[in-house]
C-alpha cells in the first residue's frame, strides 16, 4: 500500500511539473516583454502621458483599484449577457435553418447583411432606440457574437454522414431524436470553436457600446482617461478588459474539454 501511495504521489508530482514546464515559455515571454517595455520607457525617457512604465500601471491597480472594480462589473455583466443572448439566438436559428430550407434561404442573407455593417455604425442607432442603459450594450455584444456562432452551428448541424442518417431511419428515429442524438453531437466542436471567438468579442462589443454613450464601464473609463491624458489609467483599463476576454476564452476552452470528447471529421 505504501508503495502504491508513493507511486501515485510521484505521478501527480510529475504531472504538475509537466504542466509548469509547458507554461514556462509563455510566462518567460510575458516577463521578457514587461522588462523590455520598462527598459524602452526608461532609456528613451518617454513621457508618462504617452507611455507609462509597467510599475506605474501596476500602481494604478493598487491606488485606483476601487475605480477599476466599479467600472469592471458593468462591462462584465454586459459582456456575459450579450454572450448568452447572441449565442442562444444563433443556436436556435441554426436549428431552424437546418429543419427549414425556406427559413435558411429567407433569413440567412439578412444575417449576412447585418454582419457586414460595422458594429461602430450600429451602436449609435441602438443607443438612440434603446437609450443609454444596459440594453444597447448587451445588444451590441450579442450582435458581435451572433454571426460566427450561427455559421459554425449550421455547418456543425449538417456535419452528419449519410450512413448515420440511414441508420437512424432504419431505427425509425424521429426528427427530435436525430437532432439531439446525432446533429447536436456532431455540432459541438463547431459550436465551441465559435464560442471561443465569441468569449473575447463580446467584451469588445460591450466596450464599444460604452464608448458611444455611457458614464460607467471600462469603455467609458478608457475614453475619460484618453481625453485627460491619464495614460497609466488607460493602460490599466485596457489590461483589465483584455484579462476579462482571456478569462472568458479559458473558461470556454475548459468547457470544451469537458463536453467535447471527440473531433468531427469532414463536413457533408
Distance in angstroms (rounded) separating the CA atoms of residues 80 and 77: 5
Are 168 and 188 members of one domain? yes
Are 23 and 103 members of one domain? no
Are 86 and 208 members of one domain? yes
Are 2 and 64 members of one domain? no
Using one digit for the tens of pLDDT, what is the confidence trace for 259-268?
Answer: 886 554 444 4
Are 120 and 205 members of one domain? yes
Distance in angstroms (rounded) separating the CA atoms of residues 19 and 21: 5
Q: Which of 25-29, 98-102, 137-141, 171-175 has the lowest mean pLDDT?
A: 171-175
User: Whole domain around residue 22: which residue ranges?
Assistant: 1-46
For CA atoms 103, 108, 109, 113, the dihedral sign is positive
Note the pLDDT of residue 142.
95
For residue 144, being part of any structural domain is answered with yes
Are 20 and 54 members of one domain? no
For residue 264, being part of any structural domain is answered with no
Are 148 and 244 members of one domain? yes
For residue 109, being part of any structural domain is answered with yes
Are 126 and 203 members of one domain? yes
* Size of the chain, expressed as the number of residues it contains: 268
Q: Is the pLDDT of residue 189 over 60?
A: yes
Residue of 180, 205, 186, 188 lying closest to 255 (CA atoms): 188
Are 158 and 198 members of one domain? yes
For residue 220, being part of any structural domain is answered with yes
For residue 265, being part of any structural domain is answered with no
Q: Is the pLDDT of residue 179 over 80?
A: no
As given in the structure block, the three cell numbers for residue 16 are 504538475
Q: Is the pLDDT of residue 160 over 80?
A: no
- Range list of H helices, the chain: 2-43, 54-63, 65-99, 101-116, 119-130, 134-158, 162-170, 175-178, 184-212, 217-227, 231-259
> Residue 214 — pLDDT band, cuts 50, 70, 90?
confident
Using one digit for the tens of pLDDT, what is the confidence trace for 56-66?
Answer: 999 999 999 99
Distance in angstroms (rounded) separating the CA atoms of residues 46 and 34: 16
Q: Work out how many domains the chain is built from and give that number.
A: 2
DSSP per-residue letters across 19-70: HHHHHHHHHHHHHHHHHHHHHHHHHTT--TTT---HHHHHHHHHHSHHHHHH
Distance in angstroms (rounded) separating the CA atoms of residues 257 and 268: 24
DSSP per-residue letters across 202-228: HHHHHHHHHHHS-SSHHHHHHHHHHHT
Are 87 and 199 members of one domain? yes
Interhelix angle 101-116/134-158, nearest 10 degrees: 130
Note the pLDDT of residue 265.
45
Are 25 and 82 members of one domain? no
For residue 266, being part of any structural domain is answered with no
As given in the structure block, the three cell numbers for residue 235 are 493602460
Output DSSP code: residue 264.
-
For residue 16, being part of any structural domain is answered with yes
Are 41 and 78 members of one domain? no
CATH number at residue 229: 1.10.3720.10
Amino acid at each position: 500500500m505504501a508503495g502504491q501511495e508513493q507511486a501515485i504521489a510521484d505521478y501527480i508530482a510529475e504531472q504538475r511539473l509537466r504542466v509548469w514546464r509547458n507554461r514556462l515559455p509563455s510566462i518567460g515571454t510575458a516577463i521578457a516583454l514587461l522588462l523590455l517595455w520598462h527598459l524602452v520607457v526608461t532609456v528613451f525617457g518617454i513621457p508618462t502621458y504617452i507611455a507609462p512604465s509597467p510599475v506605474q500601471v501596476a500602481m494604478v491597480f493598487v491606488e485606483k483599484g476601487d475605480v477599476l472594480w466599479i467600472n469592471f462589473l458593468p462591462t462584465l455583466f454586459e459582456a456575459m449577457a450579450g454572450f448568452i443572448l447572441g449565442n442562444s439566438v444563433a443556436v436556435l436559428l441554426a436549428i431552424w435553418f437546418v429543419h427549414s430550407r425556406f427559413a435558411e434561404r429567407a433569413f440567412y442573407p439578412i444575417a449576412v447583411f447585418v454582419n457586414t455593417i460595422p458594429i461602430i455604425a450600429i451602436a449609435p442607432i441602438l443607443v438612440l432606440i434603446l437609450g443609454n442603459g444596459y440594453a444597447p450594450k448587451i445588444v451590441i455584444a450579442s450582435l458581435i457574437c451572433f454571426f460566427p456562432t450561427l455559421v459554425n452551428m449550421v455547418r456543425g448541424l449538417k456535419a452528419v454522414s449519410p450512413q448515420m442518417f440511414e441508420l437512424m431511419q432504419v431505427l425509425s428515429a424521429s426528427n427530435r431524436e436525430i437532432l439531439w442524438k446525432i446533429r447536436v453531437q456532431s455540432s459541438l466542436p463547431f459550436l465551441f470553436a465559435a464560442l471561443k471567438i465569441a468569449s473575447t468579442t463580446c467584451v469588445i462589443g460591450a466596450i464599444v457600446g460604452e464608448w458611444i454613450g455611457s458614464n460607467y464601464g471600462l469603455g467609458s473609463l478608457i475614453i475619460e482617461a484618453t481625453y485627460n491624458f491619464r495614460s497609466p489609467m488607460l493602460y490599466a483599463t485596457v489590461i483589465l478588459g483584455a484579462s476579462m476576454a482571456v478569462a472568458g476564452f479559458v473558461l470556454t476552452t475548459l468547457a470544451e474539454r469537458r463536453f467535447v470528447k471527440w473531433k468531427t471529421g469532414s463536413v457533408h
